Amino acid sequence: MRKINNKVVGIDLPLNKCVPFSLAYIKGIGIFLGNKICEACGISKTLRASDLTDEQINAINEHIRKNYVVEENLKEKVFKDIKLLVSIGCYRGVRHRMHLSVRGQRTHSNAKTCRRLITIRR
């Protein structure tokens, strides 16, 4: 019996890929975490997403909801973290507020578009 779609955490998984690779389509889960989820749920890593049963999909859903922050919750968490950095006025917060590179990237010859936008904003 072939399924039309598999929804995991509200996201349609691509049916023609192996489970860890199709789980990587969920924001916050990569291939490494997809492999760990498969191990935790007892699902073969070579199994295609189209061959998952309802019980396996429910097991994946439960495991992800209990152990990981994904999709909208992850976006909210990142937004709140950045807002906190900006509000306390730390170096990283100042860089976020100015829309510059935050993690030490080179800005002399790179990131020209964001620096150009800053001169327009001022």
Is position 1 within any domain?
A: no
Q: Among 21, 50, 67, identify where a domain stops.
A: 67
Query: Considering only CA atoms, which of 70, 18, 64 is closest in space to residue 45?
Result: 18
Whichever domain contains 113, its CATH number is 4.10.910.10
Q: Which pLDDT score, from 0 to 100, does residue 61 have?
A: 93
For position 99, what pLDDT does the model report? 83
The series of mean pLDDT values per 10 residues for the chain, 122 residues long, is: 70 91 94 96 93 92 94 94 95 89 83 67 57
21 in a structural domain:
yes
Show Cβ contacts of residue 101 under 8 Å, excluding neighbours closer than 6 positions: 95, 107, 110, 111, 114
CATH of the domain at 15: 1.10.8.50
92 is in which domain, residue-wise?
74-121
- CA count, 13 A, side-chain hemisphere, 81: 7
Q: How many domains are there within the chain?
A: 2
8 A C-beta contact, residue 70 and residue 28: yes
